[in-house]
Amino acid sequence: MLQAFEANLAWAQAADAADPLRGFRDEFLIPPHEGRDGHYFCGNSLGLQPRAVRAAIDAELDYWGELGVEGHFKGRLPWMDYHEFVRDHLAEVVGARPSEVVAMNTLGVNLHLMMVSFYRPTAERPAILIESGAFPTDRYAVESQIRFHGFDPADALIEVQADEPNGTLSMAAFERVFAEHGSRIALAMLPGIQYRTGQAFDLAAITQLARRHGCAMGFDLAHAVGNLPLALHDSGADFAIWCSYKYLNSGPGAVGGAFVHERHAQAVLPRFAGWWGHDKTTRFQMGPEFVPTAGADGWQLSNPPILALVPLRVSLEMFHRAGMSRLRQKSLQLTGYLEWLVNTQLNDTLEIVTPAEPARRGAQLSIRVRAGRERGRALFEQLMAQGIIGDWREPDVIRISPAPLYNRFADCLAFAEAVRRWADGAAG
């Protein structure tokens, strides 16, 4: 454990030197600022590029050039089975069994594919539950699915309302909404981490609540995968979906992923079928009848995009070496240090929206400037100009996310010092 935090460079550098995961930073390309490494806190939006990605993509291009179509069957990692080469490490990251996960498509596509199977509304039970202020991908998708099935979102879209300061949700809020509407809810579709507040939810507790009321349960893990240790299998959720370009560092628009609990592995569920979801042992017999592969693979539509899967494979190998438990331990320390700096050095300027309890958050702290939105936007732009990269979410939140694979305690200190300089200049 670290000694008591200190707001000086010597302490931050000593903490970085003692970090057992410090070597992973060297495996990433850090965006430069004025000839030096910048301070990148935006892994919650786009993770950094692993250095090994370029050579790995070049290797597949070489196979394509040298082997042509035979690259599907030859080479170090034949393309025919390429999505299987990320399966085991992906299952480790999300706490699932290998047969329960698949890398495919993108988050929005996978969400629609999962809802085809798990949103089965009836006149008595037509509703979908989301959180108030859900990310647009989720809201647009569930509204369109409700309309597709002939229902009206004004009646069939239920939102659980924030009941804590700064817009966060207690378990009591979920208990109340299920008690009131549970008999009408066909599907609960909630995030692992709420994108604006940074609040992490207890997947198992919410799933138990949903199942008690007869509701299917799905999770959008866009901001949770690669950020928190997850236990998807043990949670009992029916499905989950995620993107891979945030904490999984797999590049802009990267291949997403999906989880389908093994209790559905052999189930005859409605789905949008595709050739690559067909039983692989008979796929090339080209028969007219769709026979799904058991497990999550059965939801695939098309053969995997090899060049797009390469960065995910490289990144997941790094997660395997680091281990989610060690990454979480470092994340708790990094985010704890950032929180301490804000509360002890910048409390007159900033307030933290994200819950203070470590179990209710990941790497992200959502921060507001006390002086209001316009001053908050001014601070954000000043930070960006100094190579301190976070992101802005309307109406007034700056998101700062120290990712444990590549961020340092010195980065957190640099953020705090830049805010103090700005605040002192504004006051002067």
* Contacts of residue 301, Cβ cutoff 8 Å, sequence gap at least 6: 104, 105, 113, 272, 273, 274, 275, 276, 277
**397 pLDDT exceeds 70?**
yes
57-69 per-residue burial string, b: 16 or more CB within 10 A, e: under 16:
beebeebbeeeee
User: Is the pLDDT confidence value at 1 over 60?
Assistant: no
Question: Residues with Cβ < 8 Å from 428, sequence gap 6 or more?
Answer: none
**CA-CA distance, 344 to 358, in Å (whole number)?**
18
> Which amino acid does the sequence have at 160?
V
Q: How far is residue 248's CA from residue 265's CA, in Å, rounded to a whole number?
A: 26
Which helix (H) or strand (E) segment holds residue 141: the answer is helix 136-148
pLDDT of residue 3: 67
Residue 330 domain flag: yes
Tokens of 106: 């993108």
**Is the CB of residue 173 less than 8 Å from the CB of residue 160?**
yes
337 found inside a domain: yes
pLDDT given for residue 371 in this prediction: 84
Residue 378 CB partners (closer than 8 Å, separation 6+): none
Which pLDDT tens digit goes with each residue over 338-372? Answer: 999 999 999 999 999 999 999 999 999 999 999 88
Dist CA 265 CA 389 (whole Å): 42
Joined tokens for residue 196:
């604006």
pLDDT per position as a tens digit, 366-391: 999 998 889 999 999 999 999 999 99
Domain that holds residue 17: 9-51+323-427
Give me the CATH number covering residue 230. 3.40.640.10
Domain boundary among 289, 320, 351: 320
**How confident is the model over 107-145, as pLDDT tens digits?**
999 999 999 999 999 999 999 999 999 999 999 999 999
For residue 284, give the 3-state DSSP assignment.
helix
300 plus 332 within the same structural domain: no
In a domain, 1, yes or no: no
Q: Is residue 58 part of a domain?
A: no
d(CA 57, CA 6) in angstroms, rounded, equals: 42
Among candidate residues 320, 349, 374, the one where a domain is terminated:
320
Shared domain check, 337 and 296: no
- Same domain as 131, residue 158: yes
Asked if residue 176 and residue 165 are part of one domain, the reply reads yes
Q: What is the rounded distance in angstroms from the CA atom of residue 61 to the CA atom of residue 175? A: 52
Expressed in angstroms, the distance from the first to the final Cα of the chain is: 39
Over residues 169-226, the pLDDT tens digits come to 999 999 999 999 999 999 999 999 999 999 999 999 999 999 999 999 999 999 999 9
Tokens matching residue 277: 């979801």
85 touches 313 (CB < 8 A): yes
126, 183 in Cβ contact below 8 A? Answer: no
Provide CB contacts within 8 A for 27, sequence distance 6+. Answer: 50, 51, 52, 318
Give the pLDDT score at 203. Answer: 98
Residue 204 sits in the same domain as residue 111: yes
Say if residue 428's pLDDT is above 90: no
Q: Which of 320, 350, 381 is the last residue of a domain?
A: 320
CB 295 within 8 A of CB 99: yes
DSSP code, position 37? E
Whether residues 157 and 107 share a domain: the answer is: yes
Q: Is the pLDDT of residue 36 over 90?
A: yes
CATH code at 413? 3.90.1150.10
In this model, does residue 43 exceed pLDDT 80? yes
Judgement on whether residues 135 and 284 belong to the same structural domain of the protein: yes
Same domain, 267 and 376: no
Count of structural domains within the chain:
2
Residue 61 lies in a domain: no
220 lies in a domain? yes
Give strand ranges (E) for 137-262: 157-160, 185-191, 216-220, 239-242, 257-260
Together in a domain, 306 and 226: yes
Residues 160 and 106: their CA atoms lie apart, in Å, by 26
| In the predicted structure, residue 426 carries a pLDDT above the cut 80 | no
394 and 254 inside one domain: no
Say which residue, 427 or 134, is predicted with more confidence: 134
Q: What is the pLDDT of residue 293?
A: 93
Nearest CA to 169 among 136, 139, 131?
A: 131
Q: Are 101 and 87 in contact (CB under 8 A)?
A: yes
Mean pLDDT across the chain, nearest whole number? Answer: 96
pLDDT score, position 128: 98
Q: Are residues 149 and 161 in the same domain?
A: yes
Percent of the chain at pLDDT > 90 equals 96
Q: What is the pLDDT of residues 210-264, one digit of tens each?
A: 999 999 999 999 999 999 999 999 999 999 999 999 999 999 999 999 999 999 9
Regarding whether 22 and 140 lie in a shared domain, the answer is no
